[in-house]
Amino acid sequence: MTPDENTDATVRNPGAVPRWVALVLLAAVLVAGFMAVSFSSDAEDARAQADLLKDGVDRSSLPLDQAVALAELAHAQSAPLPASELHDHHHDHGAEHTEMSPEEQALFEEQWQTAVEAAEGHATMKQLEELGFVRSSGETDGAGEHWTNWELVDLPFDPARPSQVLVDELVFGQGPELIAFSYWVRSDGPPEGFAGDLDVWHRHRGVCFVDGMIMDENRQPEECDGDWFNGENLWMVHAWVVPGVENVYGDFHNVNPLLCERACGLED
């Protein structure tokens, strides 16, 4: 096309939009569309969360994300529990363990070191609160307080990311601080946790939480004025990974004699 022909074409299409302008307009339309979909999805999520929290259960002391995660877990744990299974709770720490293969031993040591290093990022109450942990039990003999991140309970086992931690001030005497990890995992059977069979997982059945704090266990839902868990597929193990709080009873024992300045009722 000659310059004259190009001029004639422009004159014949005086309303023509330059291609770059059209592309900018198209991009703006697409961005607006994506934002509208995102806002709509966020609004739907907010409505779903609001509906979830309209079940009459008090979770007022919890941050919104933790209250929602706790409510979702309780709803998933609401299946009836036969009375015969309520008291099936024990810690088989006295069982004989099989010797680990060299490969298992190496993996265990790697996992344990990962947990020890992760403990540094969970050491103070400020760090725990920033990570989303909220207090979920009072003082327990030999194990301190339990603090839980309800959003992590549903996730697979990760040695660096416990869904629960143990906190106490007796060991170092400098105020509440991390003393151990407590992994609490939803699984159909004992989770594939640390390599080997030293980590003996246990369950708490018929557990009642009121405003995020455990009130009792071995209860039926009609006996609970809060969030009730049947606990059938919730597995827990304590891991004494904090340097200075090593447990002479074993790395995964439920209680630690260092924390037994009170009457402790220790297991043999």
Distances (CA, A) of 31 to 22, 25, 40, 43, 204: 14, 10, 14, 18, 49
Joined tokens for residue 233? 């597929």
- The predicted model gives 44-61 an average pLDDT of 79
Identify the band that residue 37 occupies on the pLDDT scale cut at 50, 70 and 90: low
Neighbours of 45 (CB within 10 A): 11
Identify the band that residue 122 occupies on the pLDDT scale cut at 50, 70 and 90: very high
Q: Alpha-carbon distance 151 to 178, whole Å?
A: 19
Give the residue from 185, 216, 209 showing the smallest Cα distance to 75: 209
Helix-then-strand count for the chain, H and E: 5, 8
Q: What is the pLDDT of residue 238?
A: 97
Pairing relationship of beta strands 134-135 and 145-148 according to DSSP bridges: antiparallel
Q: Alpha-carbon distance 90 to 27, whole Å?
A: 61
Q: Alpha-carbon distance 52 to 166, whole Å?
A: 29
Joined tokens for residue 154? 């549903």
Question: Tens digits of per-residue pLDDT, 193-243?
Answer: 999 999 999 999 999 999 999 999 999 999 999 999 999 999 999 999 999
Q: Alpha-carbon distance 111 to 98, whole Å?
A: 18
Q: What is the pLDDT of residue 263?
A: 46
Give the residue from 191, 224, 216, 199 showing the smallest Cα distance to 56: 224
Please check the confidence at residue 9 and state whether its pLDDT lies above 60. Answer: no
Question: pTM of the entire structure?
Answer: 0.78
Please check the confidence at residue 60 and state whether its pLDDT lies above 70. Answer: yes
| pLDDT greater at residue 9 or residue 51 | 51
Q: Alpha-carbon distance 67 to 132, whole Å?
A: 11
Can you give the residue ranges of every domain in the chain? 3-52, 66-259
DSSP letter at 83?
A: G
Contacts of residue 191, Cβ cutoff 8 Å, sequence gap at least 6: 156, 157, 183, 185, 201, 235
> Please, what is the Cα angle at 202 between 196 and 207, to 5 degrees?
155
